[in-house]
Amino acid sequence: MKALGQNVPREAMLAAIIVVLLGLIGLRAPVFLSPGNLLGVLTDTSFLFMLALAQMAVILTRGIDLSVAANLALSGMIVTLADRAHPGLSLPVLFALAALSGLILGAFNGALIAFVEIPPIVVTLGTLSIYRGLIFVIAGGQWLTSNDMSRSFLAFPRDTLLGLPNLLVVALVVSVLFWLLLNHTSFGRNLYAIGGNPVAARYCGISLTRQIFAVYILSGVISGLCGLLWVSRYGIAYSGIAQGYELTVIAACVIGGVSIAGGIGSIVGALLGALFLGIIVNALPVMQVSPFWQVLVSGVIILLAVVLNARSEHRAGRLILKTPAREGTP
């Protein structure tokens, strides 16, 4: 794929920015660079890794999924309610329930976007509120805390496999699966094709409807799984968890070089974008930056990274394709 090849320098640039950033943080708070802490940062960023990859798949098709955080919170609440009602449910069953919940919520988005052909931003903005509202309804406004969750459920994200916390292991497995899916299956290649030029993709015999429906289901399933992991990690489920997190996920994609116009983006880029944000949110409290400055500082750093990073994207060739492709937007 040409789009993939073009992005290599861009990712190298982002990796270099991350190294410089780590160096600067280390000057002020050396404790941040300890292996234990860096592992902690990676673990904390696990949610962002998975959600950014799923969001990238959606954005590749010129879509967007704003309902990911609401889906995460609703699926998390459903799993917690199930766990509270039946404390004996095994983890695989709970995982299956989380994935199923995410799948249904994602399929609802996908159906409206692919079959009814409503713009993704409108659909997912609506379902964002619906899913958040549903949490309130099914839980009756209650907050469920670690007191309502079974021991094995709470222990899962923290337990380790080969020295790595399960949460990070799951994120790594999901990343590998995404890499295989996007780079080594026709489904993945079709996503790039649809975003790059929908008209051409249709002439090539790619079913846009089915492909787009599937990508929102994929995004939903990942959100659902993250919902289980989120509530078990933080030990709390209520309507406000991960509020506004969808914007962090989209920011990770954009920083990682995923083009909002569709068709461009790579696994490594999205992961690096997520890592960059993960480092910033974890470093600010350790660096003891005044809380009144934190939001401003993180915004400036993000913008700087995007500006530095975007300079490698200017290519004369892209403009030629842009205009005709737009007309064929699904």
Partner 1 sequence: MFSRRHLLQVGGAAALVSSTSLPSLAAGKELRIALVVKALGIGFFDACHEGGEQAAKQLGNVKVIYTGPTKTTAEEQIAVIESLIAQKVDAMAISANDTNALVPVCKKAMARGIKVISFDSGIAPAGRILQINPSNNTLIGAKCVQMIAKTLNYQGEIAILSATAQATNQNIWIGKMKEELKKPAYAKMKLVATVYGDDVADKSYREMQGLIKAHPNLKGVIAPTTVGIVAAAKAVVDAKLTGKIFVSGLGLPSEMKAAVASGATDTFAIWNPIDLGYTAIMVAAQIAEGKTTGKPGSVLHCGRMGDLKVTPNATVAMANPYTFDKSNIDKFAKIF
**Residues in touch with partner 1 (CB under 8 A):** 29, 31-32, 37, 40, 44, 143, 145-147, 158, 230, 234-236, 240-243, 281-282, 284-288, 291-292
Give 60 or 228: the residue with its C-beta nearer to partner 1: 228
Three-state DSSP class for 145?
strand
Chain centroid offset of residue 59 CA: 11
> Min. distance of Cβ 271 from partner 1 in angstroms?
20
Q: Which residues contact 78 (CB under 8 A, 6 or more apart)?
A: 97, 98, 101, 138, 227
> Min. distance of Cβ 102 from partner 1 in angstroms?
19
> Min. distance of Cβ 53 from partner 1 in angstroms?
19
> Min. distance of Cβ 144 from partner 1 in angstroms?
9
Give 209 or 298: the residue with its C-beta nearer to partner 1: 298
Tokens of 103: 């799948």
Give 192 or 245: the residue with its C-beta nearer to partner 1: 245
Q: Which of 41, 17, 43 is nearest to 255 (CA)?
A: 17
Give 86 or 158: the residue with its C-beta nearer to partner 1: 158
Distance, CA of 262 to CA of 61 (rounded, Å): 5
Distance, CA of 8 to CA of 76 (rounded, Å): 36
Give 292 or 320: the residue with its C-beta nearer to partner 1: 292
> Min. distance of Cβ 223 from partner 1 in angstroms?
15
Distance, CA of 111 to CA of 120 (rounded, Å): 11
Tokens of 297: 């500082």
Distance, CA of 211 to CA of 189 (rounded, Å): 11
> Min. distance of Cβ 235 from partner 1 in angstroms?
5
Q: Which of 185, 184, 189, 175 is nearest to 263 (CA)?
A: 189
Q: Which of 9, 59, 33, 25 is nearest to 215 (CA)?
A: 59
Give 288 or 323: the residue with its C-beta nearer to partner 1: 288
